[in-house]
Amino acid sequence: MLLQSQVCDFGWPAPDFDLATPDGTRHTRDGLMGQNGLLVAFICNHCPYVVAIIDRLAEDMKTLEAAGIGCAAIMSNDYRDYPADAPDQMTRFAQAHGLVAPYLVDVDQSVGKAYGAVCTPDFFGFDAKGGLQYRGRLDDVGMRGDPSARVPELVNAMTQVARTGTGPATQAPSMGCSIKWSS
């Protein structure tokens, strides 16, 4: 089911988390927070919207990390019903697309629920104090556009957040497949 992310609730505090990568390396919200903020991206392996943008997202995360913004990708789908999203597949997916930010498994889906994530991809950009400043899309290209002349909206917004502490007043929502909640 196609969904859009919600409107940015400026200043909303980033929920804490303690999640592991498929190899067992644990990461927390505070441990990932950069001096200029934090980007939390809810993604999965099988969603065609994520597949369409993952290479750009991986590069954009490297750009953000170089600017002092911590990054994490979180997979909250019920991988028992969607085995393409299983932890062993997450590792392969991250390697194939050059994703160097931690790709974390939300086994019990509590983090996805705490953040109010609704789709993959769903982006949450926080300032250095942990207040939400961006809840928009990656860029203006979408699934099938030509990325050669894209506007990197996420990078631009988070760079603004790093510089000024506030995100852009106008944000286009992210669009993607619904998170696959367990029944």
Indicate the length of the chain as a whole number. 183
Q: How many angstroms separate the Cα of 70 from the Cα of each of 106, 127, 135, 140, 180?
A: 18, 10, 16, 23, 26
Return the CATH architecture of domain 2-178: 3-Layer(aba) Sandwich (3.40)
The answer to whether the CB of 174 falls within 8 A of the CB of 121 is yes
Residue 95 tokens read as 């390697």
Largest CA-CA distance found in the chain, in angstroms, rounded: 43
pLDDT tens digit sequence for 146-174: 898 899 999 999 999 999 999 999 999 99
Confidence at residue 1, expressed as pLDDT on a 0 to 100 scale: 56
Rounded-to-integer distance, Cα 161 and Cα 42, Å: 20
Provide the b/e sequence for 91-117 (b: ≥16 CB within 10 Å). Answer: eebbeebebebbbbbbeebebbeebeb
Average pLDDT taken over every residue of the chain: 95
* Residue ranges covered by each domain of the chain: 2-178
pLDDT tens digit sequence for 94-134: 999 999 999 999 999 999 999 999 999 999 999 999 999 99
Q: How far apart are CA 1 and CA 179, in angstroms?
A: 9
Q: What is the model's pLDDT at position 99?
A: 97
